[in-house]
Amino acid sequence: MRLRSALAVLALVLIAGGCSIASSTATLSPEAAFCDSLKDYAVAVVDLQALDDQNTIDEYKAAAQDVNEAMEAVVAAGVVMGEASVDELQGATDALVGTLTDLPQDTPVAQVRAELQAQLVAVAQARLSIGVAHCETPASASPAPATAAPAAS
């Protein structure tokens, strides 16, 4: 009898624990998921901007791939939300990623950085306009100055 009581108590504890876990896992609204994807996209762009003349073309290409993957998440979240038009941001991202993807290995990094500045501004403006239209407080979309160095850790 004691074993049955112990098993019953254990089963109740497991059921109660499972219920609290299920209830604490909140599902994001489509709008919140979209805004989160925009924030992740902004982080990928900032990481790309943080690269400097000391980085390699391969590092620039890897950062471009990260931006592209973040853009795919924005597009997917925009489809789920059903309201966000990401065409302008998609076009700006495609231009940015295309520039970096097609670079020959012997391209001087300083030249790459110069070519990217206008594209980074276009990306930032498109992301900001989407964020203002669909998110409460979008993260800053201002591109960092070309001479800014990443903060020391």
Per-residue CA distances from 85 to 13, 17, 81 (Å): 47, 41, 10
User: Which SS3 state, helix, strand or coil, does residue 134 take?
Assistant: helix
Model confidence pTM above 0.85: no
- The model's pLDDT over 20-32, given as tens digits with 9 standing for 90+, comes to 444 444 677 888 8
Res. 16 pLDDT band, cuts 50 70 90 = very low
Instruction: Report which of residues 138 and 28 the model is more confident about.
Output: 28
* The CATH classification of domain 28-134, taken from the options 2.30.30, 1.20.120, 3.30.1360, 3.30.460: 1.20.120
**Domain ranges across the chain:** 28-134
